[in-house]
Amino acid sequence: MPTPKWTLTVADVVAETADAATIVFDPPDTGDCAYRPGQFLTLRVPSDQTGAVARCYSLCSSPATDKRLAVTVKRTAEGYASNWLCDNVRVGDRIDCLPPSGVFTPADLHTDLLLIAGGSGITPMLSITKTVLARGRGHVVLLYANRDPEAVIFAAALRDLVNDHPDRLTVIHWLEAVQGLPNDQTLARLLAPYAGHDVFICGPSLFMRSARSAVESFGVPRSRIHIENFVSLSGDPFVDKPVDVDQVPPAAADKPQQTAEVVVQLNGDTHTLTWTRKDTLIDLLIAQGIEAPYSCREGDCGTCQCMLLDGEVDMDTHGALDEEDIAEGVVLGCQARPASDHITVEF
């Protein structure tokens, strides 16, 4: 089954700061652009050297308040794609992308949320905040860390949201130029009053580690901590790879061919399937016509992560997962292959 793709037309380009721009897209020609707050688009960016590169950018638009899709791109010093997009994209341009993906999204809009963002990590947080305020009853506390006032993305939009929802939205700005770098202890003291909230963290890796350590220090369980961690995709998800049924991937070459019974719990349905080692879990579900969450199929984006409830699997790469994810039984469907006779997973 080919990977679904969209081609979107640029409706506007908004300069947010000196090094960040929001790209606004008209809906796809199909008219179906359903997505969840906190999800991302994978854009195809032209490249003279490789033909194209694929990069993931969070949606800052909200399905509750915005008719158009929008992503915000912040330049990075060595980032080819971010610089190309900021320098070259104009109104009327057509850009290929994959439909919205990602699991960095609240399950319940009525739950109180603690959002911890650094730099461009504010992008999915804006989408989540606007959606909760428009469609839910939850309270939102947003801690937003930046270098200085000029680096604050969406400053005006955040002010407007606070003015419109003063009883439900609290925004706390942390400026490195004023307060220094945030660390585990300072963040813990500041955020401890919100220990009962579900936590979402997005930003530079060191900042996210400090934020995670801080909320864990005052007792927030891992099940209520959600972390968005983008890496550069190692493959091209816009090219459909032919499947060679006789080819076993190198990571599985030294394993005997194995058939397992797998029980997949997905979207309230339960599927019992026969799974062979030549297929990843996502390969199996696609072949069976079951709509499972996935995007890059390289293990990089984390969209296909699921929970291993019973049995054992091998993964070709751990990709977007960290050590704690793996210890808790989180696996990547696009990398998982059977390593026991009976397996149960839940998406």
CATH number at residue 314: 3.10.20.30
Among residues 185, 212, 228, the one where a domain terminates is 228
CB atoms within 10 A of CB 64: 15
DSSP 311: S
pLDDT (mean) for 194-205:
96
Domain that holds residue 295: 252-346
Same domain, 266 and 293: yes
Is 140 domain-assigned? Answer: yes
Q: Are residues 184 and 218 in the same domain?
A: yes
273 lies in the same domain as 336: yes
- Note whether residue 244 is domain-resident: no
The count of structural domains within the chain is: 3
User: DSSP letter at 192?
Assistant: G
Handedness of CA 79, 237, 130, 173 (dihedral sign): negative
What was the pLDDT predicted at 245? Answer: 44
- Within-domain flag for 235: no
Least confident residue range of 99-103, 146-150, 310-314: 99-103
63 and 43 part of one domain: yes
Does the residue 16 lie in any domain? yes
Indicate if 258 and 298 belong to the same structural domain: yes
The answer to whether residue 237 is domain-embedded is: no
**pLDDT of 251 higher than 60:** no
Judgement on whether residues 274 and 333 belong to the same structural domain of the protein: yes
Q: Could you tell me the pLDDT band of residue 255, with boundaries at 50, 70 and 90?
A: low
Average pLDDT over residues 230-253: 58
Amino acid at position 314, single letter: D
Q: What is the full DSSP assignment across 92-131?
A: T-EEEEEEEE-S-S-S-TTS-EEEEEEGGGHHHHHHHHHH
Q: Residue for token digits 């912040």?
A: 74
Query: Quick one: average pLDDT of 58-86?
Result: 95
Q: For the chain, give the mean pLDDT.
A: 90
* pTM for the whole structure: 0.81
Residues 89 and 18 in one domain: yes
- One domain for residues 177 and 153: yes
Does residue 240 belong to any structural domain of this protein?
Answer: no
276/307 same-domain check: yes
Domain boundary among 196, 228, 260: 228
Give me the CATH number covering residue 27.
2.40.30.10
- Is 74 inside a domain boundary? yes
- The DSSP 8-state label assigned to residue 141 in this structure reads E
| Three-state SS at 219 | coil
Predicted confidence band of residue 102 (pLDDT cuts 50, 70, 90): confident
Cα–Cα distances in Å, from 84 out to 7, 43, 134, 252, 294? 18, 12, 34, 38, 26
Kindly state whether residues 82 and 124 are assigned to the same domain.
no
Residues 6+ apart with CB under 8 A from 41: 56, 57, 59, 69, 71, 97, 98, 99, 100
User: Which CATH number does the domain housing residue 157 bear?
Assistant: 3.40.50.80
Percent share of the chain, pLDDT over 70: 92
Report which residue type is found at 97: C
What the block records as the tokens of 222 is 């891992």
Q: Which pLDDT value is given to residue 49?
A: 77
Pick from 101, 121, 145: which residue ends a domain? 101
**Using one digit for the tens of pLDDT, what is the confidence trace for 121-135?**
999 999 999 999 999
Q: Is residue 243 part of a domain?
A: no
Same domain, 83 and 176: no
117: which 2 tokens? Answer: 């963002």
256/332 same-domain check: yes
